[in-house]
Amino acid sequence: MYINGKHVESIGGGWFPVYDPSTEEIIAEVPDSREADVDRAAKAARTAFDSGEWPATTAQQRGRLLFKLADRIRNEAGKLAELEARNCGKPIVEAEMDIADTATCFEYYGGLATKVLGHVNPVPDNALSLSLREPVGVAGQIIPWNYPLLMSAWKLAPALAAGCTCILKPAEQTPLTALEMTERLDEIGFPPGVVNVISGFGESAGAPLVRHPDVDKIAFTGSAAVGKIILRNAAESIKRVTLELGGKSPNIFFSDADFEAAIDGALFGVFINQGEVCSAGSRILVERPIYRKFVEALAEKAKTIKLGAPLDRETKMGPLVSKEQYERVREYQEIGKREAKLLAGGGRASSFSKGYYVEPTIFADVDNGTRIAREEVFGPVAAVIPFDGEADAVRIANDSPYGLAAAVWSRDIFRALRVVKSVRAGIVWVNHMQPTYVEAPWGGYKQSGFGRELGPWGIEEYLETKQVYINLNEQPIAWY
Ligand code: NAP
Ligand code: MG
How far from each other are the two terminal CA atoms of the chain, in whole angstroms? 61
**What is residue 177's predicted lDDT score, i.e. its pLDDT?**
98
**Closest Cα to residue 272, out of 442, 434, 85, 425?**
434
In angstroms, the Cα distances linking 255 to 387, 404, 418 are 11, 24, 16
- Judge contact between 320 and 21, C-beta under 8 A: yes
The mean predicted confidence, pLDDT, of the chain is 98
Topology of domain 250-430 in CATH is: Aldehyde Dehydrogenase; Chain A, domain 2 (3.40.309)
**What is residue 298's predicted lDDT score, i.e. its pLDDT?**
98
Q: Which residues lie with the beta carbon below 6 Å from any ligand 1 atom? A: 142-146, 169, 171-172, 201-203, 206-207, 210, 221-223, 226, 229-230, 244-247, 278, 376, 378, 404, 444
Angle between helices 77-88 and 148-162 (to 10 degrees): 120
3-state secondary structure of 406: strand
In angstroms, the Cα distances linking 346 to 80, 215, 302, 329, 357 are 33, 44, 12, 10, 12
Instruction: Inform me whether the pLDDT recorded for 185 exceeds 90.
Output: yes
DSSP per residue, 227-261: HHHHHHHHHTTT-EEEEE-----EEEE-TTS-HHH
In angstroms, the Cα distances linking 146 to 208, 318, 379, 394, 400 are 23, 12, 11, 29, 23
- Judge contact between 211 and 237, C-beta under 8 A: yes
In the reported structure, the alpha carbon of residue 328 is separated from the centroid of ligand 1 by a whole-number distance in angstroms of: 15
Would you call 313 exposed, middle or buried from its count of C-beta atoms within 10 A (0-12, 13-18, 19+)?
Answer: exposed
* Mutation probe of ligand 1 site: the residue of 33, 87, 226 with most atoms within 8 A of C-beta: 226
**What is residue 253's predicted lDDT score, i.e. its pLDDT?**
99
pLDDT tens-digit map of 68-125: 999 999 999 999 999 999 999 999 999 999 999 999 999 999 999 999 999 999 999 9
Tell me the pairing of strands 195-197 and 165-169: parallel
- Judge contact between 113 and 441, C-beta under 8 A: no
Tell me the pairing of strands 240-244 and 405-409: unpaired
* Mutation probe of ligand 1 site: the residue of 174, 233, 278 with most atoms within 8 A of C-beta: 278
- Better-scored residue on pLDDT, 72 or 474: 72
In the reported structure, the alpha carbon of residue 246 is separated from the centroid of ligand 1 by a whole-number distance in angstroms of: 9
Q: Which residues pair with 317 in a beta bridge?
A: 307
Per-domain residue ranges for the chain? 2-245+448-467, 250-430
In the reported structure, the alpha carbon of residue 85 is separated from the centroid of ligand 1 by a whole-number distance in angstroms of: 19
Ligand 1 atom nearest to 169, measured from its CA: 9
Q: Which residues contact 212 (CB under 8 A, 6 or more apart)?
A: 38, 39, 42, 140
Return d(Cα 246, Cα 249) in angstroms, integer. Answer: 9
Nearest ligand by distance to the CA of 173:
1
**What is residue 278's predicted lDDT score, i.e. its pLDDT?**
98
Nearest ligand by distance to the CA of 144:
1
- The CATH classification number of 2-245+448-467 equals 3.40.605.10
Return d(Cα 116, Cα 139) in angstroms, integer. Answer: 18
Return d(Cα 275, Cα 135) in angstroms, integer. Answer: 36
Ligand 1 atom nearest to 227, measured from its CA: 3
In the reported structure, the alpha carbon of residue 259 is separated from the centroid of ligand 2 by a whole-number distance in angstroms of: 38
Mean local confidence (pLDDT), 276-283: 98
Ligand 1 atom nearest to 222, measured from its CA: 30
Q: Is the pTM of this model over 0.85?
A: yes
Mean local confidence (pLDDT), 376-384: 98
What percentage of the chain exceeds 90 in pLDDT?
Answer: 99
Protein residue with its CA nearest to atom 22 in ligand 1: 202
**What is residue 15's predicted lDDT score, i.e. its pLDDT?**
98
In the reported structure, the alpha carbon of residue 203 is separated from the centroid of ligand 2 by a whole-number distance in angstroms of: 9
